[in-house]
Structure 1
Amino acid sequence: MTHVTNVSDGAGAKRDPAAAQQGALARLAIAFTEWAEKWFPDAFVFVVLAVLAVALGNLATGATPAAIAKGFGAGFWTLIPFTMQMAMVAITGYVVASSPPATRLIEWIARFPQTGRGAVAFVAFVSMAASYFNWALSLVFGALLVRALARRTDLRMDYRAAGAAAYLGLGATWALGLSSSAAMLQANPASLPKSISDITGVIPLSQTIFLWQSFVMGGLIFAASIIIAYYSAPADRFVRTAQDYGIDLGEKQAEAPKQTRPGEWFEFSPVLPLLLVLLAVGFVYTEFASKDPLLVISNLNTYNFIFLMLGVLLHWNLRSFLGAVAKAVPTAGGVLIQFPLYGAIATMLTAVNGADGVSISHHLANIFVGIANTHTYPVVIGIYSAVLGFLVPSGGGKWIIEAPYVMQAAVDLKAHLGWAVQVYNAAEALPNLINPFWMLPLLGVLSLKARDIVGFCFTQLLVHVPLVLFLLWILAYTL
């Protein structure tokens, strides 16, 4: 892949001051990302190190090795229902985004933007809007939209900036919508670990993502992200297209499999998918007719069920659907292998007592209570959660680790528990903007490297950090 780095428009052409300033900012972000890519190991290594760090913390408080080992084993499988639910979020999002109707929709909406900068802003809008419903859907749909826009010969769009815009769904808004694992976990008593439920009880979505304060915060972040995406996108001679990077945008459509024997008729016929979806529609109707709609939406099983059946319908036949599922399963690998360790960490934090008879989470809660009050709590926890989110890129599973002591501190300070969840949600997205881990699925589709888009993501981060922390602080006064 050939990277074009010249910024002149011919001999003697001068640098545009705004472009030069943007270039310096991007170079700083690229240098940081290259350092992280060189020295940061796989995310699973961080989870293992976290387990060992908590074990050492248990020892430091006077817990016995036998109690620590028991806590590790006892907590390992406590999150199996939630692990499966979050894996299905990733799989169903991919299946829906890669369906034939979705790909045709992408080609259609790719005709709307009229300028390169407008195309970048449009990608940001679509990606963030999709992330409110499913973060995996936003990544895949956004990446495919960027490729469709890049194939337009009449549109000179910066491929790097558009790639960064496609990532904004996961880097800005995903945790504020229906794919927020923290909010969904708190609203589902069947999935809520005892280590958290004993402190908070069930917190309905009406007290988290459906607070009016949450809508205000999400709307302002949404608008700011689009504005930054538009004005940070290079224009004119500074644009770097997919062709400049030597990227082949030809969408090679694999020949559709064909029925070769009578026994395969059911696999290629739409009859079975339609009957299956018909049953699903009946179930969903009875759920909404007999229950509070917010309770129905907050049930992760129902949420995943709807997306799964939508995938069946959009693929139209079982062979196409099963092929999409096979391609989607690897996207859930990190969830499947990491979440059991999160469960073990949560138990070791909350159920393993030291020599003084209390757990690590109790000590951490006391620390937060000591340095924060009801009004400064959102800022303190927001900063802490953002920093930890870069070290442990969990996509929300980190909430299981943090919640016992973060929510205990909220209880002690008499802070709004629902807003405490939103503090985590908003701060959780911040490190994603510069964390290469979550960029990987997007970069694979775009044929780019993290260093190609992180400069634009870093520009977003510089605005998001003060904006998010300010909103978390000021809106807390209204609760």
Structure 2
Amino acid sequence: MFVPVIRFFDRIVQRYLPDAFIFALILTVLVYVLGVIMTDSSPVEMVTHWGDGFWDLLAFTMQMSLIVITGYMLASAPAVTLLLRRLSLFAHTPVQAIVLVTIVALTACLINYGFGLVIGALFARHVARQVPTVDYRLLIASAYSGFLVWHGGLSASIPLTIATSDHFLVDSLGVIPITETLFTPYNLFIVAALFVSLPIINALSLKATDQSQQIDPAFLDLGSKKEEAATVAITPAEKLENSKILSLLIGLTGMGYVVYYFSQNGLDLNINIVNFTFLFLAILFHRTPRKLLQSVTEAVKNAGGIIIQFPFYAGIMGMMVASGLSDRIALWFVQISTEETLPLLTFISAGLINMFIPSGGGQWAVQGPIMIPAALELGADPARIAMAVAWGDAWTNMIQPFWALPILAIAGLKVRDIMGFCVILLFWSFIPIAIGLVFL
């Protein structure tokens, strides 16, 4: 029954799921209407909440735009292109291609979510070039499936937040080290179960694909475009634009800072240091400023969807939080919970709220002050409840286009192209996550 189920969801998604931007607009209208009906906010107040929050994600929008741009710049450098191509040689069949991309994406997302999104998409393009008979849509969905594990990995925002001494819930929650969240048996079980099962699920999905749906080989030819014929630099400006010494000096300076940063902070692989590392490696590997700027011209084309859509999600978050709508949703789940059911219901409520507030840190700011007091009152483990929010945030990312935008931009696809496969991943991943949170 696996094949017809996948084909059913793929047909539904292809027919009815609009472009990611339209999806954001529909969510905006939905939250506005729900806020007017379910809270004390008037129609005018809801518009005010929306406008006030519209630009709250500007810094994050820039970060995510740069992760796509700098990742593309780095991947298009000849040395990195050669490395990714050699790694892609391990795939000889469509099944091997799907499994390899899934494992690489899972590994990268466990290290850092931004790193994983970019590397997964770029590597998938190289694998598609190596195995042209693989369904390209499923290959990109496989790359995106790695994002399921990010909130159980080293860049998980919620467990890392509550492990700091100055987080906003420290008075009621205290400081919870990652040994009580990320490195607990239940979290390691969830990560291991997804790491083993997702490549299998994605490989089985091949039976439901149409192998005639292949991508233009010219699009996949990342980083192999013929370089412009070398010209003799005559003016001082042209000499600077083609200066290998200048690129080497700036690149080595940047990488020197990266070494210093990690020596002082350990493996704190946040989004800013990932962008910084990508940028200065790209400067070194492209060798001259002119070649680097040529790669920038291609890279910025991929960031348009992020730039235009993220402010709308910020507006949605503004309405959810300021109107109290997110509080009402969370409180409803608390009211029907017991000590035994609170982790599962927290996970489900986090998955629902994530559809409207697709930011781990933003979601914790909303749910943390509600779920933690409930856990303390019911006698549930607050660290497990925090991880339930974290996994709920990661879970419904499979059907929320917000985080898919970077990978779709690099892949050159629409959200409807991969979402049919991602629905299956959503249903399947519920099982190991629920088992880990409730029974272990």
- For Structure 1 versus Structure 2, the TM-score category normalised by the shorter chain is 0.7 to 0.9
Q: Per-residue displacement from partner, 1:254-278 (whole Å, max 9, x unpaired)?
A: 3434555431333333323332343
Structure 2 counterpart of 1:412, one-letter code = A
Q: Does 1:397 align with 2:324?
A: no
One of 237, 240, 246 as aligned partner of 1:272: 246
Q: Per-residue displacement from partner, 1:164-222 (whole Å, max 9, x unpaired)?
A: 3223223x2234335545556667899x8x7x789868877666545564333222211
Deviation for aligned residue 1:102: 2.5
Is contact 1:33-1:436 (8 Å) kept? no
Structure 2 counterpart of 1:344, one-letter code = G
Aligned equivalents of 1:142 and 1:151: distance in 2? 14
Deviation for aligned residue 1:109: 1.2
Structure 2 counterpart of 1:102, one-letter code = V
**Matching residue of 1:127:** 105
**Matching residue of 1:44:** 24
Structure 2 counterpart of 1:29, one-letter code = F
**Matching residue of 1:248:** 216
SS in structure 2 opposite 1:123?
helix
Structure 1 counterpart of 2:337, one-letter code = A
Of the structure 1 ranges 264-273 and 198-207, higher mean CA displacement relative to structure 2 is found in 198-207
SS in structure 1 opposite 2:225?
coil
Judged with a 3 Å threshold, the aligned counterparts in structure 2 of structure 1 residues 85 and 367 are, in CA distance, closer, same or farther, namely same
Q: Per-residue displacement from partner, 1:56-79 (whole Å, max 9, x unpaired)?
A: 268x43x68897777666655555
Structure 1 counterpart of 2:311, one-letter code = I
SS in structure 2 opposite 1:29?
helix
SS in structure 2 opposite 1:42?
helix
Judged with a 3 Å threshold, the aligned counterparts in structure 2 of structure 1 residues 218 and 157 are, in CA distance, closer, same or farther, namely same
Judged with a 3 Å threshold, the aligned counterparts in structure 2 of structure 1 residues 129 and 380 are, in CA distance, closer, same or farther, namely same
Is contact 1:187-1:299 (8 Å) kept? no
**Matching residue of 1:28:** 8
CA RMSD of superposed structures (Å): 4.2
**Matching residue of 1:107:** 85
Structure 2 counterpart of 1:313, one-letter code = L
Query: Where do 1:197-346 residues align within 5 Å?
Result: 208-209=181-182, 213-234=186-207, 240-241=210-211, 244-245=212-213, 247-250=215-218, 251=221, 253-257=224-228, 258=230, 261-291=235-265, 293=266, 297=268, 300-326=271-297, 327-328=299-300, 329-330=303-304, 332-334=306-308, 336-338=310-312, 340-341=314-315, 344-345=318-319
One of 129, 150, 159 as aligned partner of 1:174: 150
SS in structure 1 opposite 2:280?
helix
Q: Does 1:410 align with 2:372?
A: yes
Q: Per-residue displacement from partner, 1:88-116 (whole Å, max 9, x unpaired)?
A: 44444343334332221221112113443
Of the structure 1 ranges 436-445 and 115-124, higher mean CA displacement relative to structure 2 is found in 436-445
Aligned equivalents of 2:178 and 2:87: distance in 1? 32
**Structure 2: gaps of 5 or more residues:** none
Deviation for aligned residue 1:125: 0.9
Structure 2 counterpart of 1:404, one-letter code = V
Q: Does 1:474 align with 2:430?
A: no
Aligned equivalents of 1:197 and 1:73: distance in 2? 31
Q: Does 1:383 align with 2:351?
A: no
Is contact 2:35-2:325 (8 Å) kept? no
Q: Per-residue displacement from partner, 1:404-462 (whole Å, max 9, x unpaired)?
A: 23442223322555544432332333334345665565556656666655454344333
How many positions carry a matched residue from both structures? 428
**Structure 1: gaps of 5 or more residues:** 1-20, 350-358
Deviation for aligned residue 1:348: 0.9
Structure 2 counterpart of 1:173, one-letter code = V
**Matching residue of 2:389:** 424
Judged with a 3 Å threshold, the aligned counterparts in structure 2 of structure 1 residues 314 and 381 are, in CA distance, closer, same or farther, namely farther
The percentage of counterpart residues that share the same residue type is 27
Aligned equivalents of 2:178 and 2:128: distance in 1? 39
Aligned equivalents of 2:242 and 2:360: distance in 1? 42
Aligned equivalents of 1:468 and 1:247: distance in 2? 34
Give TM-score scaled by structure 2 length. 0.77
Q: Per-residue displacement from partner, 1:366-413 (whole Å, max 9, x unpaired)?
A: 433311234322211222232344x43x6x426525632344222332
